[in-house]
Amino acid sequence: MRGTGHPTTAMRAAPENNYWISGLSTRVSAAFMVPYLLLCGALIVYPLVRLAAFALGSGKGFGNFVSFFENNVEVRSLGLTVLDSALVTLCVLILGGFVAWCMRTTSSRFIKFSLAVAVFVPLWMSAITKIYAFTVLLQRMGIVNQALQFIGLVHEPVSWLYNQPVVIVGIVYQMLPYGVLPLYVTFSLIDLDLANAAEGLGASRLYAMISVILPLAAGGILVTGVMVYMISVGYFLTPVLLGGATSPFTASLISRDVFTYYDLVEAAVSGVLLIVVATVVAVGAYLIIGKDRLGKVVRG
């Protein structure tokens, strides 16, 4: 029986360009991008254009922004939003960094599991539930006042609600998971033997953290801080329910302008300024980190 030919002959007869192409062609890639671009146009670009149109409307143009900065209430609210969001970001980075580092370095599964539960459970809860939990804890007849009276630290209930510090604490509590999880990923990419080597060469643990760990984690810390800050400037429910009239965030005044005074122009100006603040922070972080380092941080 005759064979089908020598294997070498069959291999030579096969087309030379018959190989797998891992990438997509330009047309296929463009087709996949069309739904995404349409969604971005409908949900991002169009609302931003409409917001800018409202802010520059009513025939005054940029005079609407001048009127905004002539209003002491609006300026105070914007300054309070910027300042409180910065304080929230700092607290989240410190507390979140501590929790993330403990999760990274601990050898106890129980401690790691407990910390993970403490991070994820608040993340799964709604904002309303967490805010009202704070209200129950801090009200005049709440658990905190009862405990302080029981141990004798205070003789009458203390008013903890409706002030600026409790607003910061409430936002920090809600933003903490957004700080812990990215920082845990950042610390997980750092070889702990580097810190151990620094300690072996005579450095204290604190100096090893400052000189070795922090420079390696700086990109992730900065990106996490930008993300936390950009979310914090838009908080609405927490300042309203925990701070009341004493801590009016810009988002609260936007709601007032829209639903109480029906002043869409003033609300649009406030919204544009919040976007400008967030954009300046993001661009500043981009310039500090650099394109290459930011890409490494995002890719992990």
CA distance 57 to 37: 28
CA distance 53 to 40: 18
pLDDT in tens, 166-188: 999 999 999 999 999 999 999 99
pLDDT in tens, 61-71: 889 999 999 99
- Looking at 3.30.160.150, 1.20.1250.20, 1.10.10.60, 1.10.3720.10, the CATH number of the domain 72-299 comes to 1.10.3720.10
Please tell me which of 78-87, 187-196, 256-265 the model is most confident about, judged by mean pLDDT: 78-87
Q: What is the mean pLDDT of the chain?
A: 85
pLDDT tier for residue 247 given thresholds of 50, 70 and 90: confident
Q: Which among 259, 248, 265, 264 has a CA at the least distance from the CA of 74?
A: 248
Are 249 and 83 in contact by the 8 Å Cβ rule? The answer is: no
Q: Residue range 9-30: average pLDDT?
A: 61
Looking from the CA of 41 toward its CB, the CA atoms found within 13 Å total 6
Q: What is the pLDDT of residue 11?
A: 47
pLDDT tier for residue 18 given thresholds of 50, 70 and 90: low
Are 88 and 172 in contact by the 8 Å Cβ rule? The answer is: yes
